[in-house]
Amino acid sequence: MVATGDPVALGFVTSLARPGGNITGLTILSVELSGKQLELLTEIVPRASQIAVLWNPNSPDTKLAFKETQGTAKAQKLKLLSLTVQRGEDFDSAFQEASKHRPDALIVLQDALTFTNRKMIADLAAKRRLPAIFGLTEAVEAGGLMAYGPNRVDQYRRAAAYVDKILKGTKPADLPVEQPKKFEFIINLKAAKQIGLTIPPNVLARADRVIR
């Protein structure tokens, strides 16, 4: 595995240190990172009181990430607006629902569905002038405002080492599951300008890459 959020909670492995079966690899910490993404959103929209969460309830990883986001929101005294999507046709109606409640910002929980439709999500968020943060840099390259998460290129390079060891006879149970070593925070200033948002200098200074 290369991009699993919480392999222990999902029952794939017994523990990160001792997988205990025929599955090992890397986790992307998507569950834990959803809280950090919410914190970054509130830094660029400091007066935010309601945050929309776009997520797929059919994805085990995003179910866990949504619970984590709820906990972070409660600690920050923020109200969450749950926007669920289960197929590509659901995004328009999800953003129509958002328009009714007028959230201050949007967090997109990462799974195959939201990744595949990242350009659509970025366009719909921009149309409604809604600051949004994603989990993967590809979403920002597709026009999204911000992304914070593991460096996927580094993840796949490290996964190759697992493949090599297993093909040479090492048992997956003997290979600890590794967490990300490199993270990326990317900001798209073109997207910010499009929705009339000014990124605070202290947030901009922390970005690993800025799209101008």
Q: Could you count the other beta carbons within 10 Å of the beta carbon of residue 42?
A: 18
Q: How many helices (H) and strands (E) does the chain have?
A: 9, 7
Token couple for 164? 């090599």
Q: What is the pLDDT along the chain (212 residues), one digit of tens a residue?
A: 998 888 998 899 999 999 999 999 999 876 678 778 988 999 999 999 999 999 999 998 899 889 989 998 999 899 999 999 999 999 999 999 999 999 999 999 989 999 999 999 999 999 999 999 999 899 999 999 999 999 888 999 999 999 999 999 999 999 999 999 889 999 999 999 999 999 999 999 999 999 99
Calculate the CA 12 to chain-centre distance. Answer: 21
Burial class (CB in 10 A: 0-12, 13-18, 19+), 36: middle
* Domains of the chain by start residue, with CATH: 44-149+183-211 (3.40.50.2300)
pTM: 0.90
Can you state the angle between helices 60-75 and 30-44, rounded to 10 degrees?
40
